[in-house]
Structure 1
Amino acid sequence: MIYTIVDIETTGGSHGNRITEIAAVKTDGTTILSEYESLINPEVFIPKSITLLTGISNNMVADAPKFEDVADEFYEFLEGTIFVAHNVSFDYGIIKNHFEDLGTTFNQKKLCTVRLSRTIIPGYPSYSLGKICTNLGITNG
């Protein structure tokens, strides 16, 4: 099986917010096969609170491609893989909405690492990605 681990940043946390960044890694579970990363021009204003949270500003995305400009390439990157994300319903839902806005059907098998971590390491006070990594001794890089 091939998995694509996806993380997006958006203009906010609710439905209708726009993607500002996509990062994805394709893996067979042991080896990184390929990577995808792009800032995305959301075509709407990024609130200051979101810039403080994500580090992505309006200036950074001003000349970035719109989702419609990267949609075909990103769709092909994901095609035939299992979509993996921490809180998959958020990332998957936003991406699905973006594809559907373009008239593209998006139905991938998906795996939620929050749900998985609650199953394999029960009893943690927090299942945020940062807390899980810290508790498991996983460092960035």
Structure 2
Amino acid sequence: MSRRIAVIDFETNGASPGRDCRATEIGVALLEDGRIVGRYQSLINAGVWIPPMIERLTGISNVMLRDAPPPAVAMAEAARFVGDTPLAAHNASFDRKFWDYELAQLGLARKQDFACTLLLSRRVLPQAPDHKLGTLARWLSLPDTGRAHRALADAEMAAQLLCHLQGELSRRYGARLADHSQLCGMQKVSAAKISQYLQAQAG
């Protein structure tokens, strides 16, 4: 049975998808049994304006998007790359709404759930200084994946974090690497109840 998970990240020009707020970059890291086995990245030209603040944060400029593929091309490629692989993201509620919105523009709909490394880190690593992706990566000394707030670098960083969380769960509870469905279940229970949840799953 494949234990592959597609960890995705979007860069966007705003917080909520709509006519004037779209994805400007997507990155996907395919994670399988603790290592990244595939990558996809593309800038996206949806004809929207990137405000200076967002440009400073991401390094993605309006000039860079001029020759980028339109969403109909980039998102179709990303959707084919992911297929029916289970999904994960850091702060998945953000990436999920852009994934769903951009798929809807193609007449497609998501079938798989999202695991959220932000929610999981709050439960597995409550002692962390905070649960931002960059903070966790530095605190855990995860491998450097490149510039923060670029889609593939952040997707790979979230994938490294997910590997760490799976390993931590395995060390603490003697379980195999938690699969995607278990991760989705764990992010809905409190930190105090994770052991009880895993015991119920094993039973």
Work out whether the TM-score is over 0.5. yes
Rounded Cα–Cα distance in structure 2 between residues aligned with 1:50 and 1:117: 26
What's the secondary structure of 1:94's corresponding residue? helix
Structure 1 residue 31 corresponds to structure 2 residue 28: no
1:53-92 mapped onto 2 (5 Å cutoff): 53-92=57-96
What is the CA distance between 1:12 and its match in structure 2? 1.2
Q: Is the 8 A contact 1:118 1:127 kept in 2?
A: yes
What is the CA distance between 1:104 and its match in structure 2? 1.2
Q: What is the percent sequence identity of the aligned residues?
A: 37
The alignment covers a number of residue pairs equal to 141
Q: Which residue is 1:103 aligned to?
A: 107
What's the secondary structure of 1:98's corresponding residue? helix
Per residue, is there more strand in 1 or in 2?
1
Which has the higher mean CA deviation after the structures are superposed, 10-19 or 113-122? 10-19
In structure 1, stretches of 5+ residues that fail to align are: none
Larger RCO (alpha carbons 8 Å, 6+ apart): 2
For normalisation by structure 1, the TM-score amounts to 0.93
The counterpart of 1:4, out of the listed 6, 9, 25, is 6
The counterpart of 2:15, out of the listed 13, 16, 26, is 13
Q: Is the 8 A contact 1:25 1:32 kept in 2?
A: yes
What is the CA distance between 1:80 and its match in structure 2? 2.1
In structure 2, stretches of 5+ residues that fail to align are: 146-203
Rounded Cα–Cα distance in structure 2 between residues aligned with 1:124 and 1:56: 30
What is the CA distance between 1:96 and its match in structure 2? 0.6
What is the CA distance between 1:112 and its match in structure 2? 0.1
Rounded Cα–Cα distance in structure 2 between residues aligned with 1:138 and 1:64: 31
RMSD between aligned alpha carbons?
1.3
What's the secondary structure of 1:103's corresponding residue? coil
Per residue, is there more helix in 1 or in 2?
2
Larger radius of gyration: 2
What is the CA distance between 1:82 and its match in structure 2? 1.4
